[in-house]
Amino acid sequence: MKSPQINVAPKVMTLEQAVEWRKELQKQGKKLAVTNGCFDILHRGHAEYLQSARNTADALLVLVNADASIRQLKGPTRPICKELDRAFLLACLEFIDAVVIFDSQRCNKELEALSPDVYVKGGDYTVEKLDPSERSVLFDCGADFQFIPFVPGYSTTAVIKLCEGGKS
């Protein structure tokens, strides 16, 4: 018996597609969690964080920084992996329901359009440390804030140092 074909490509959406998908979730009474980040080199810390993020709602959408915005945030040597590759890898994780690439340093436009029920960030953030424009949008849509602790020993910077032969 042949196994069913798996295609994760539909999970990588434009913002417009994600907004329509979000409307369907709302019709079904389901809650949406949203997180955002670079996810440059996907590692165990990311996977555990994203799995925990998914457990805060019925569906998880990940907003991924485009390559140009990562260069603005982290410098000319980043990203390591291209945006479409990062989006595809995230979509491969079964607990991620949708991925949207955004092209600015801040995702307030996307957050406003999606109006998440839950907004998830890593444990190094607090409500006060969030970007003021993003925080304002999230307050306006009534999102619940969830901050998930980091998995010790895992970070993109540590992975890069390890690959370069250094110690993390």
Output the average pLDDT for the chain: 92
Confidence check: pLDDT of 68 > 70:
yes
So what's the pLDDT on residue 4? 76
For a pLDDT cut of 90, what percent of the chain falls above it?
75
Is 3.10.20.30 the CATH number for 9-163? no
- pLDDT bracket for residue 159 (50, 70, 90): low
For a pLDDT cut of 70, what percent of the chain falls above it?
93
So what's the pLDDT on residue 168? 44
Q: Give the chain as a 3 state SS string.
A: CCCCCCCCHHHEECHHHHHHHHHHHHHCCCCEEEEEECCCCCCHHHHHHHHHHHCCCCEEEEEEECHHHHHHHHCCCCCCCCHHHHHHHHHHCCCCCEEEEECCCCCHHHHHHHCCCEEEEECCCCCCCCCHHHHHHHHHHCCEEEEECCCCCCCHHHHHHHHCCCCC
pLDDT (average), residues 21-41 = 96
pLDDT (average), residues 3-8 = 82
- Lowest-confidence segment of 5-19, 90-104, 117-131, 148-162 by average pLDDT: 148-162
Look at 19 and 4; give whichever has higher pLDDT.
19
Annotated domain spans of the chain = 9-163
Look at 79 and 3; give whichever has higher pLDDT.
79
pLDDT (average), residues 146-163 = 75
pLDDT in tens, 39-55: 998 888 899 999 999 99
